[in-house]
Structure 1
Amino acid sequence: MAATLKQSPLHDRHEALGAKLAEFGGWSMPLEYPTGVVKEHTAVREAVGVFDVSHLGKAIVSGPGAAEFVNATLSNDLAKIEPGKAQYTLCLDESGGIVDDLIAYWHDDEHVLLIPNAANTAEVVSRLQAAAPDGVQVVNQHEDRAVLAVQGPRSDEVLARVGLPVGHAYMSFVEAEYGDGLGVVVCRTGYTGERGYELVVDNEAAGRLWDDLMAAGAEWGITACGLGARDTLRTEMGYPLHGQDISLRTNPVEAGLSWAVGWKKESFWGREAVMQVREDGPARRLRGLVAVGRGIPRPGMSVTLTPDVPLADITSGTFSPTLKKGIGLALIPVMVAEDAQVGVDIRGRREIFQLVKPPFVDTSVKES
Structure 2
Amino acid sequence: MTDKLLHTPLYDKHISLEAKMVPFAGYEMPVQYPAGITEEHMVVREAVGLFDVSHMGEIFIEGPAALAHLNRLCSNQFDSMADGRCRYTVIMNESGGILDDLLVYRLAEDRYLLVVNAANRAKIYDHLLPLMEEGATLTDASDEWGQVALQGPLAEKVLAKVADSLPEKYYTFVDGVQVAGVPCIVSRTGYTGEDGFEIYGPADQIATVWDALLEAGKEDGILPCGLGARDTLRLEAALPLYGNEMNENIDPLTAGLSFAVKLDKDDFVGKEALLAVPEDHPVRVGLKITGRGIAREGAAIAHDGEEVGQVTSGTRLPYLKAAYAMGYVPPALAKEGTQLDVILRDKPVAAEVVALPFYKRK
TM-score range, shorter chain: over 0.9
Q: Paired residue for 1:111?
A: 111
One-letter identity of the residue aligned with 1:265: K
Correspondence 1:361 to 2:359? yes
Correspondence 1:122 to 2:99? no
Identify if the C-alpha distance between structure 1 residues 266 and 211 changes in structure 2 by more than 3 Å, giving closer, same or farther: same
SS in 2 for 1:90: strand
| Shift in Å, 1:270 | 0.2
| Shift in Å, 1:293 | 3.2
SS in 2 for 1:214: helix
Correspondence 1:318 to 2:315? yes
The answer as to whether partners of 1:60 and 1:112 remain within 8 angstroms in 2 is yes
Question: In the TM superposition, what whole-angstrom CA distance separates every residue of 1:304-354 from its partner, at most 9, and x where no partner exists?
Answer: 112x30012211011111111101111111121513111112223321111
One-letter identity of the residue aligned with 1:329: M
| Shift in Å, 1:200 | 0.7
| Shift in Å, 1:181 | 5.7
Question: In the TM superposition, what whole-angstrom CA distance separates every residue of 1:212-243 from its partner, at most 9, and x where no partner exists?
Answer: 00000001000100010000000011111111
Question: Where do residues 193-342 of structure 1 align in structure 2 (5 Å cutoff)?
Answer: 193-277=193-277, 280-306=278-304, 308-338=305-335, 339-342=337-340
SS in 2 for 1:58: strand
| Shift in Å, 1:63 | 1.4
One-letter identity of the residue aligned with 2:332: M
TM-score by length of 1: 0.95
Correspondence 1:11 to 2:8? no
SS in 2 for 1:358: coil
- Give the gaps of 5 or more residues in structure 2: none
Q: Distance in 1 between matches of 2:54 and 2:37?
A: 19
Q: Distance in 1 between matches of 2:63 and 2:280?
A: 38
Q: Distance in 2 between matches of 1:56 and 1:121?
A: 8
The answer as to whether partners of 1:106 and 1:112 remain within 8 angstroms in 2 is yes
Q: Distance in 1 between matches of 2:184 and 2:67?
A: 21
Q: Paired residue for 2:64?
A: 64
Q: Distance in 2 between matches of 1:185 and 1:170?
A: 14
Identify if the C-alpha distance between structure 1 residues 282 and 172 changes in structure 2 by more than 3 Å, giving closer, same or farther: farther
Q: Paired residue for 1:350?
A: 348
| Shift in Å, 1:176 | 2.5
Q: Distance in 2 between matches of 1:55 and 1:252?
A: 24
One-letter identity of the residue aligned with 2:183: G
Q: Distance in 2 between matches of 1:11 and 1:282?
A: 47
SS in 2 for 1:204: coil
- Give the gaps of 5 or more residues in structure 1: none
Identify if the C-alpha distance between structure 1 residues 282 and 242 changes in structure 2 by more than 3 Å, giving closer, same or farther: farther
**Identity of aligned pairs, percent?**
38
Q: Paired residue for 2:131?
A: 131
| Shift in Å, 1:195 | 0.3
The answer as to whether partners of 1:177 and 1:184 remain within 8 angstroms in 2 is yes
Q: Distance in 2 between matches of 1:181 and 1:212?
A: 10
Q: Distance in 1 between matches of 2:98 and 2:181?
A: 39
Identify if the C-alpha distance between structure 1 residues 209 and 108 changes in structure 2 by more than 3 Å, giving closer, same or farther: same
One-letter identity of the residue aligned with 1:325: A
| Shift in Å, 1:210 | 0.4
Q: Distance in 2 between matches of 1:202 and 1:267?
A: 36
One-letter identity of the residue aligned with 1:51: F
Question: In the TM superposition, what whole-angstrom CA distance separates every residue of 1:125-165 from its partner, at most 9, and x where no partner exists?
Answer: 12221111123111111222111000000001111111242
Identify if the C-alpha distance between structure 1 residues 167 and 137 changes in structure 2 by more than 3 Å, giving closer, same or farther: closer
The runs of at least 4 consecutive aligned structure 1 residues that moved more than 6 Å come to none
Question: Where do residues 181-200 of structure 1 align in structure 2 (5 Å cutoff)?
Answer: 182-200=182-200
SS in 1 for 2:90: strand
One-letter identity of the residue aligned with 1:76: N
The answer as to whether partners of 2:104 and 2:114 remain within 8 angstroms in 1 is yes
Q: Distance in 2 between matches of 1:298 and 1:180?
A: 41
Identify if the C-alpha distance between structure 1 residues 282 and 246 changes in structure 2 by more than 3 Å, giving closer, same or farther: farther
Q: Paired residue for 1:153?
A: 153
One-letter identity of the residue aligned with 1:153: P
SS in 2 for 1:6: coil
| Shift in Å, 1:166 | 2.4
Q: Distance in 2 between matches of 1:62 and 1:110?
A: 5
Q: Distance in 2 between matches of 1:149 and 1:207?
A: 13
Q: Paired residue for 1:93?
A: 93
Aligned residues: 361
Q: Distance in 2 between matches of 1:27 and 1:83?
A: 32
